[in-house]
Structure 1
Amino acid sequence: MSAYDELPWLGVYAGQSAELPPEHPDALTMYRAGLAADPDGVAIRYFDGVLTRSELEAQSDALASALLAHGFERGDRLAVYLQNVPQFVVCMVATWKAGGVMVSINPMSRARELTYLLADSGARVLVSLETLYDEVAREVVPGTAVDLVLTTSGLEHQQRHDERLFAGVARARHDGTTDLATLIEEHRGQVPPPVTLGPDDVAFLTYTSGTTGVPKGAMNTHRNVVFTAGVYRDRARFAPGGSVFGVAPLFHITGLIGHVAVTLAAPSELVLAYRFEPGVVLDALLEHRPTYTIGAITAFNALLNAEGFTRDHFSSFTSVYSGGAAISPTAEKAFAEKTGLQVHNAYGLTETTSPMTLTPYGAPSPVDPTSGALSVGVPVPSTIVRIQDDDGNDLPLGEVGEIVADGPQVVAGYWGKPEETAAGLPGGALRSGDVGFMDADGWVYIVDRKKDMINASGYKVWPREVEDVLAEHPAVRESAVVGVPDEKRGETVRAFVSLHAGATVTTEELVAHCKERMAAYKYPRQVVVIDELPKTVTGKILRRELRD
């Protein structure tokens, strides 16, 4: 037995357990338990539109019946190519009722990416926004296994159309497609035959971001989904009668679990606003007064710096969590000063169906005195997190190595990729690709992505540490650090920064700021100021694009 097996993680949670409840062996059963608990309650608020739980049940019954009538079979895949709209949730529940697997696709995907995702997943059904079908999917679908295309619009389920999001958008039916709402109405009142889903059946295929290679379809099982939905429900302190604001995109694992699945499990309301646009989000926060959310710190920073932001925008929240992008101590402090709330850290990957560690509600995240890194929390219940070397051996507490997780949230593998599964999930435990360490109390700290380490004159430089130092400068809004070729040092450190509105600073001043606070081999020799850092739709900074 190693030190990792003896840490008092569960004690941090006051003895609570997030074991898989026997009455919830699959996500569809979890959904039905929430429906039975509050059948007339609101499931989704979308601008001025409301979808009740009973209406969600009726629409998903109708859609599942339609899919089965079309020949959809158990294990078939339905792909959704949507923004944060109520139809996303309807399609998800209907897919499970038909015994299938939902494939969530980034609505920012273009033809090359969509072609790959549809081909890799083998999806038979595609549900797409009309605009995305017209711009992208119509040229892609003919060469895939898709034999039914359902189209819909962000204009559905609302009367008051926000011109900041929907200017110039109109309904447009396309040849070879079927309107989703029409199909649902044609089958309204029909109930699909009962389906039995097991904990090890696949609920979702969620694709890795591809920031370090070809995207892989993580097979998130029903066991994974129910367990992690329970973790968020029980750990994030949902206020009775509260609601969840969907700040993260629903196609991403954070949105799927931290927004959708948890509202099905609670049950509680889910507030959606199509896509992230700071002004629209701020208005929605005042209109709907949500009590909980989880999103990338980059999204929260955008809200705090948006025109018209006031402390009142966050006054309804009882709990705020952040994941998907690293949080510096400076960013945590700024959030608290501007909102009066602690932003709690969460850490997980697509392959851990969102959380593997969380900062317990109300507990301050410690800062490592040596690296200055803010902890991402302690392992969630029933989960073992270890720090290992390249050979898979446990390292002593405090030493830096790869973060490895084993628990009910770890996926079964990668869709159609046995070699990648064997390499990335040996023995069922996930090798995260993230480098970090754990202290004697079980708090986990991330140093950086393993592949992002910079070798400058033989010394290891972790970009995260340099970025945290840059964050301390009052002019710096965001930063990203990469290694670039250098004749003398092999690699040298280059920083890209964006500045706060109205701020001015010279690159020489930023270099001097870091030089004063870091070892000589670590500080950036080059600083480039740009307007915006490239990011994924979930807010993760794309260092690869900056290197290129």
Structure 2
Amino acid sequence: MSDYDERPWLARYGDQPADYEIEFGDALSMFRAGLARDPSGDALRYFDGVVSRRELDELSDALASGLLANGFAPGDRLAVYLQNVPQFVIAMVAAWKAGGIMVSINPMSRARELSYLLQDSGATVLVSLESLYDQVARDVVPGTDVRLVLTTSELEFQTRDDERLFAGVSRQRHEGTTDLGEFLAEHRGQTPPPVQLGPDDVAFLTYTSGTTGVPKGAMNTHRNVVFTAQVYRDWVHAGRDGAIFGIAPLFHITGLIGHIAVSMLVPAPLVLAYRFEPQVVLDAFLEHRPAFTIGAITAFSALLNAPGVSRDHFSSFTSIYSGGAPISPAAERRFLEATGKQVHNAYGLTETTSPMTVTPFGSPSPVDPESGALSVGVPAPSTVVRIQDDDGKDLPLGEVGEIVAEGPQVVAGYWGKPEETAANLPGGALKSGDVGFMTPEGWVFIVDRKKDMINASGYKVWPREVEDVLAEHPAVRESAVVGVPDEKRGETVRAFVSLVPGASATPEELIAHCKERMAAYKYPRSVVLVDELPKTVTGKILRRELRGGS
């Protein structure tokens, strides 16, 4: 029997079952169970606006009925091109009630990207912010299968038009579109016919970032959604003590599961604030007093650097998690010192419908003494995580290789891409593309992305380790390490660093800081100071944009 078959971490965390009984066959049944438990409770809070569970049910009924009356059929795709607004959740539930699939689109997508996503998914309905339709979608829709465009505004569902977010925003009507509010009013009171959804039906398509090719639509099934919502509730304590704050973008898998799905399951109120603006988020913390959130560590860092931040802003939280970007031990300590709250680590991908490994609630992640990395947790229940070599063979515990996961959260495949599915999900196990190792106790540590490894004079340098060392310097806010061409070494190490506001450090000082703490082949030979590092909307630092920079 191998180390993986024994799965020792299941015994260590015996307060949770090794194999979950998935409570609902589909996400719509999960939503309806939460509605039955607390029909008058808050489903969504958006500034000073509130949508109850009963109202969310009625609005999604109206939208589903209208969709069906306009030719939407089971299996059709509804694309959502929105920020963190209540309409996002209404559209998601309505798509399920109509027997369809929601397509989650990054609101930062421009014309070329939006065109690809609409064409690849074959979406027939688009729900879009009026501003995004005007700026982007207007010229894209004619070349797609979209037959119905429903537009809406960020000003809906609230009356306090915060100038920090909504300066200059006004209602817009565009030819060829239908106002979502009017569409809902027209069909209010109608109920769509019963729909049969199964665990293996696709709940939504979430697109990968496309860093190694064109974006791929991960087919997140209803089984995936229900299972990972339970993991958030049971292992992360999401929603168990009060409201959930939506700090991550809803279009991203973290927002879809760690915000929306778990809020339906518990049920618990979900607080939304349009998009991430540190001062607005901090004000919302004081106003709504949420108990749980999950977001990228870069977002939490931005909150800690916001003017006037205090411990009181975080005092209502009982559970805070971070995912989407690695956390250094220094960042974890800094957050604890500033807020008095422990930030826990979780790790997953679009293809694992959010978490594959989780730091159990109340258990701080250990630090690997050799690499200095902070663990991303232990495998989630019913999940097997393996470390494999390039030939797909299991490596002994403690050895570094590719992280491979299989379990109820792993997607069925990529929409319309059987070859990519076979390559990345052989036998239903996800090849993550991340490199790491596992301890005998089951703690998983990520070393880095395979494609980000730097080869300096034949020695492997993992950017993550250098970044963690840089994070120990008190003046460093964020860093990104890349390999750049070098005549003598083949590649050499370059660090891009942004500093804490008001702090100062020279490139030479930062190089010396690393040189004192790392092997000679690892420390950066050059440091470039920048105001901000390039990031995705979810807070991941884009190393690829820095390669070749000077």
Query: TM-score range, shorter-chain basis?
Result: over 0.9
Residue in structure 2 matched with residue 269 of structure 1 by the alignment: 269
Please state if 1:200 is matched with 2:200: yes
Residue in structure 2 matched with residue 448 of structure 1 by the alignment: 448
Aligned pairs for 1:120-139 within 5 A: 120-139=120-139
Change in Cα spacing, 1:527 to 1:241, as seen in structure 2 (3 Å) is closer
Residue in structure 2 matched with residue 427 of structure 1 by the alignment: 427
* Separation in structure 2 between the aligned mates of residue 527 and residue 442 of structure 1, nearest angstrom: 36
- Following TM superposition, by how much is the alpha carbon of 1:240 offset from its aligned partner in structure 2, in angstroms? 4.5
**Kept in 2: contact 1:59–1:188 (CA 8 A):** yes
1:284-340 CA-to-partner distances (Å, cap 9, x unmatched) read 000000000000000000001101100000000000000000000000000100111
* Separation in structure 1 between the aligned mates of residue 281 and residue 19 of structure 2, nearest angstrom: 34
Q: Aligned residue pairs: how many? A: 548
Please state if 1:49 is matched with 2:49: yes
Aligned pairs for 1:343-362 within 5 A: 343-362=343-362
* Separation in structure 2 between the aligned mates of residue 13 and residue 380 of structure 1, nearest angstrom: 10
Secondary structure (helix, strand or coil) at the match of 1:249 reads coil
Residue in structure 2 matched with residue 528 of structure 1 by the alignment: 528
- Following TM superposition, by how much is the alpha carbon of 1:153 offset from its aligned partner in structure 2, in angstroms? 0.5
Q: Note the residue ranges of structure 2 that are not aligned, 5 or more in a row.
A: none
Secondary structure (helix, strand or coil) at the match of 1:517 reads coil
Residue in structure 2 matched with residue 7 of structure 1 by the alignment: 7
Residue in structure 2 matched with residue 511 of structure 1 by the alignment: 511
Instruction: Decide which moves more: 491-500 or 9-18.
Output: 9-18
- Following TM superposition, by how much is the alpha carbon of 1:9 offset from its aligned partner in structure 2, in angstroms? 2.3
1:380-403 CA-to-partner distances (Å, cap 9, x unmatched) read 100000000011100000000000
* Separation in structure 2 between the aligned mates of residue 216 and residue 329 of structure 1, nearest angstrom: 33
Aligned pairs for 1:102-251 within 5 A: 102-238=102-238, 240=240, 242-251=242-251
Residue in structure 2 matched with residue 89 of structure 1 by the alignment: 89
Residue in structure 2 matched with residue 329 of structure 1 by the alignment: 329
Q: Which residue identity does 1:247 align to in structure 2?
A: I
- Following TM superposition, by how much is the alpha carbon of 1:10 offset from its aligned partner in structure 2, in angstroms? 2.4
Q: Note the residue ranges of structure 1 that are not aligned, 5 or more in a row.
A: none
- Following TM superposition, by how much is the alpha carbon of 1:213 offset from its aligned partner in structure 2, in angstroms? 2.6
Change in Cα spacing, 1:319 to 1:151, as seen in structure 2 (3 Å) is same
**Kept in 1: contact 2:377–2:443 (CA 8 A):** yes
**Kept in 1: contact 2:20–2:382 (CA 8 A):** no
* Separation in structure 1 between the aligned mates of residue 172 and residue 118 of structure 2, nearest angstrom: 23
* Separation in structure 1 between the aligned mates of residue 320 and residue 241 of structure 2, nearest angstrom: 16
Change in Cα spacing, 1:22 to 1:232, as seen in structure 2 (3 Å) is closer
Q: Which residue identity does 2:412 align to in structure 1?
A: A
Residue in structure 1 matched with residue 538 of structure 2 by the alignment: 538
1:7-33 CA-to-partner distances (Å, cap 9, x unmatched) read 222234334237554651000001101
**Kept in 1: contact 2:239–2:262 (CA 8 A):** no
* Separation in structure 2 between the aligned mates of residue 146 and residue 159 of structure 1, nearest angstrom: 31
Q: Which residue identity does 2:138 align to in structure 1?
A: R
Residue in structure 2 matched with residue 63 of structure 1 by the alignment: 63
1:399-451 CA-to-partner distances (Å, cap 9, x unmatched) read 00000000000000011111100000000000000000001100000000000
Residue in structure 1 matched with residue 34 of structure 2 by the alignment: 34
* Separation in structure 2 between the aligned mates of residue 269 and residue 24 of structure 1, nearest angstrom: 20
* Separation in structure 1 between the aligned mates of residue 96 and residue 290 of structure 2, nearest angstrom: 28
* Separation in structure 1 between the aligned mates of residue 532 and residue 348 of structure 2, nearest angstrom: 25
* Separation in structure 2 between the aligned mates of residue 15 and residue 459 of structure 1, nearest angstrom: 43
* Separation in structure 2 between the aligned mates of residue 462 and residue 436 of structure 1, nearest angstrom: 11
* Separation in structure 2 between the aligned mates of residue 252 and residue 311 of structure 1, nearest angstrom: 28
**Kept in 1: contact 2:383–2:405 (CA 8 A):** yes
* Separation in structure 1 between the aligned mates of residue 234 and residue 370 of structure 2, nearest angstrom: 33
* Separation in structure 2 between the aligned mates of residue 479 and residue 542 of structure 1, nearest angstrom: 11
* Separation in structure 1 between the aligned mates of residue 436 and residue 19 of structure 2, nearest angstrom: 26
- Following TM superposition, by how much is the alpha carbon of 1:504 offset from its aligned partner in structure 2, in angstroms? 1.2
- Following TM superposition, by how much is the alpha carbon of 1:503 offset from its aligned partner in structure 2, in angstroms? 1.1
* Separation in structure 2 between the aligned mates of residue 256 and residue 487 of structure 1, nearest angstrom: 46
* Separation in structure 2 between the aligned mates of residue 512 and residue 251 of structure 1, nearest angstrom: 41
**Kept in 2: contact 1:18–1:230 (CA 8 A):** no
Residue in structure 2 matched with residue 25 of structure 1 by the alignment: 25
Residue in structure 2 matched with residue 481 of structure 1 by the alignment: 481
* Separation in structure 2 between the aligned mates of residue 160 and residue 337 of structure 1, nearest angstrom: 34
* Separation in structure 1 between the aligned mates of residue 215 and residue 11 of structure 2, nearest angstrom: 37
Residue in structure 1 matched with residue 439 of structure 2 by the alignment: 439
Instruction: Decide which moves more: 21-30 or 479-488.
Output: 21-30
1:449-494 CA-to-partner distances (Å, cap 9, x unmatched) read 0000000001000000000000011111000000011111111111
1:65-94 CA-to-partner distances (Å, cap 9, x unmatched) read 000001101110000000000000000000
Aligned pairs for 1:364-403 within 5 A: 364-403=364-403
Q: Which residue identity does 1:251 align to in structure 2?
A: F
* Separation in structure 2 between the aligned mates of residue 502 and residue 363 of structure 1, nearest angstrom: 34
Secondary structure (helix, strand or coil) at the match of 2:32 reads helix
**Kept in 1: contact 2:34–2:265 (CA 8 A):** yes
- Following TM superposition, by how much is the alpha carbon of 1:5 offset from its aligned partner in structure 2, in angstroms? 1.7
Q: Which residue identity does 2:228 align to in structure 1?
A: T
* Separation in structure 1 between the aligned mates of residue 22 and residue 85 of structure 2, nearest angstrom: 31
Q: Which residue identity does 1:352 align to in structure 2?
A: T
1:358-395 CA-to-partner distances (Å, cap 9, x unmatched) read 00111111000000000000001000000000111000
1:89-143 CA-to-partner distances (Å, cap 9, x unmatched) read 0000000000000000000000011011111111000000000000000000000
Residue in structure 1 matched with residue 307 of structure 2 by the alignment: 307
1:260-289 CA-to-partner distances (Å, cap 9, x unmatched) read 000000000000000000000000000000
**Kept in 2: contact 1:12–1:360 (CA 8 A):** no
Report the TM-score, using the length of structure 2 for normalisation. 0.98
Secondary structure (helix, strand or coil) at the match of 1:25 reads coil
Change in Cα spacing, 1:364 to 1:401, as seen in structure 2 (3 Å) is same
Q: Percentage identity across aligned positions?
A: 79
Change in Cα spacing, 1:166 to 1:18, as seen in structure 2 (3 Å) is farther
Q: Which residue identity does 1:439 align to in structure 2?
A: T
Q: Which residue identity does 1:259 align to in structure 2?
A: H
Residue in structure 2 matched with residue 493 of structure 1 by the alignment: 493
1:20-65 CA-to-partner distances (Å, cap 9, x unmatched) read 5465100000110101010111000000000000000000000000
**Kept in 1: contact 2:452–2:463 (CA 8 A):** yes
- Following TM superposition, by how much is the alpha carbon of 1:507 offset from its aligned partner in structure 2, in angstroms? 0.6
Change in Cα spacing, 1:22 to 1:464, as seen in structure 2 (3 Å) is closer
Secondary structure (helix, strand or coil) at the match of 1:547 reads coil
**Kept in 1: contact 2:8–2:441 (CA 8 A):** yes
- Following TM superposition, by how much is the alpha carbon of 1:239 offset from its aligned partner in structure 2, in angstroms? 5.9
